[in-house]
Structure 1
């Protein structure tokens, strides 16, 4: 992790680096960010999972903190959206209720048309 930000306001870039380079030195690739000051825990980390998987498959070794962040990010199943899936109220009952009166109204209209046709006819 490469530390950025200002005093008492850290911000980190999750980077692929050579183990011999300094902490804030030259990176091979930046694969995400970590902002520990964000209140919503689901939005603290953003990662490019396909790049993380690639680098781990070719032998890269994450630091302890990055390994924890990767594990939590993968468990959340939020992927690159960086936020939880939207909560939608169950709407299955509403269309069924809306269809029932329409069908009844349609049946009543058909009965009145038949009654009118019989009266005229």
Structure 2
């Protein structure tokens, strides 16, 4: 999500005005909102995965004095529930960022101006 998606978003933000011959995007502020909302979503997603992976690994390595696993598989899955909720929230924020981008593109393409059209030059007056 972090590297590939952000590079792809940046490329699409650059291409849309070029392809549809617009001077600029509808709102650069929406681009900033998209960046920060998606970044926060990615951070939540990655952090939750990282912490839950460490927790689950430690739970799988815990043994009782008799040599049996201390936690059952179901107990490890139950311990992951809060992290799944955090991951869902992070993914939701990432999706909200993509929706902000889609709205920005919609408003950009709905604008009637075309920046790439050549400007009409005044006709030269005949020489006397």
TM-score normalised by L of structure 1? 0.28
Q: Larger relative contact order (C-alpha < 8 A, sep ≥ 6)?
A: 2
TM-score by length of 2: 0.27
Greater fraction of residues in helix? 2
Q: Which has the higher strand share?
A: 1
| Bigger Rg, which one | 1
